[in-house]
Copies of this chain bind each other. A is one copy, B any other.
Amino acid sequence: MLTDAQLDALNVVLVSPRNPLNIGAAARAMANFGFSRLAVVAPYEEHWREAKSAIGASDLLQNARRTESLAEAVADCTLVVGTGTLDHRRPEQAVVALPDLGPHIAAELARSGRVALVFGPEKRGLTRDDLALCHLLVEIPTDSRQPSMNLGQAVAVCLYELAARSLRSASDESAAHIPHSAADQAAPASSRDLDLVAAVVTETMQAANYSPRAMQKANRHDLDLLLRRLKLEQRDARRILGLFRRILWRLKR
């Protein structure tokens, strides 16, 4: 199985879950496979921490983080993986099938990154803006006639794949699966780093009258996607941040 350090670097994030029983079921599956770090973003019901379905996982639920936004939940993560069936969308990021996810996560753990596995609300799944905060999308290979899984079952299947299946062997051989250069060993930019960059770039665009007001939301969306596709290191993010702060200061003077 995985080491404690690896398990601690893997976060499960539930975005706007409606049914507390599903939150409890997700917590139970986490305990079953040795995970402990849960974040719940803007849950629909207030009393989700008491969900009866969290059998053997009530501590985990008590210690879960509650955040208002997905950005806040994944702030310290360096690889954010969105889940879902993507049948009716054209995703803007790379998509891997769940059986092929292991090496990507193993490689990220090997360079001391932090990973978030993000699940959307029961009916509609992750929104396009949620997905823009993800570096990678994973698809559970389901039957095309009935692709939509129950939330608790989807969490269980993903964590089984990681804990019991792919990482069990992949952690020994991650280097063989995903070749990475010496540069990859540098600290990767966290989601918080990228959000700081996105915020200052957005502010700069506005200060510079870069585009009409109506385009601002679309610009930010494209920017979120771009920043994740670039696979920035932390030092890159800091350098970009310094540059734009300087530009902004000049524009506003």
Q: Which of B32, B150, B161 contacts A149 (CB 8 A)?
A: B32
Q: Mark A88-102, 1 if CB is under 8 A from B, else 0.
A: 000000000111000
Cα distance A33–B147 when bound, in Å?
A: 8
Q: Which of B29, B141, B161, B163 contacts A153 (CB 8 A)?
A: B29
Known A-B contacts A152-B152, A153-B152, A157-B160; A147 and B99 likewise in contact (beta carbons under 8 Å): no
Cα distance A55–B148 when bound, in Å?
A: 9
A181 interfacial contact with B, CB 8 Å: no
Cα distance A53–B140 when bound, in Å?
A: 20
A57 interfacial contact with B, CB 8 Å: yes
Cβ-closest chain B residue relative to A153: B156
Q: Which of B33, B53, B157, B165 contacts A156 (CB 8 A)?
A: B157
Chain B residues with Cβ below 8 Å from A157 are 156-157, 160
Chain B residues with Cβ below 8 Å from A153 are 25, 28-29, 32, 152-153, 156
Least CB distance from A58 to B in Å reads: 11
**Copies per complex of this chain:** 2
| Contact residues of A between 23 and 70, Cβ < 8 Å to B | 25, 28-29, 31-34, 53, 55-57
Cα distance A198–B53 when bound, in Å?
A: 41
Chain B residues with Cβ below 8 Å from A142 are 32-33, 164
Chain B residues with Cβ below 8 Å from A32 are 142-143, 146-149, 153
| The 8 A-B residue pairs with the shortest CB-CB distance in the complex, in nearest-first order | A153-B156, A31-B146, A34-B143, A141-B164, A56-B146, A157-B160, A32-B142, A32-B149
Cα distance A56–B147 when bound, in Å?
A: 9
Chain B residues with Cβ below 8 Å from A53 are 150
Task: Report 18 cross-chain contacts, Cβ distance below 8 Å, ordered by A residue.
Answer: A1-B141, A25-B150, A28-B150, A29-B149, A29-B150, A29-B153, A31-B143, A31-B145, A32-B147, A33-B143, A53-B150, A56-B146, A99-B168, A142-B164, A154-B156, A156-B157, A160-B160, A160-B161
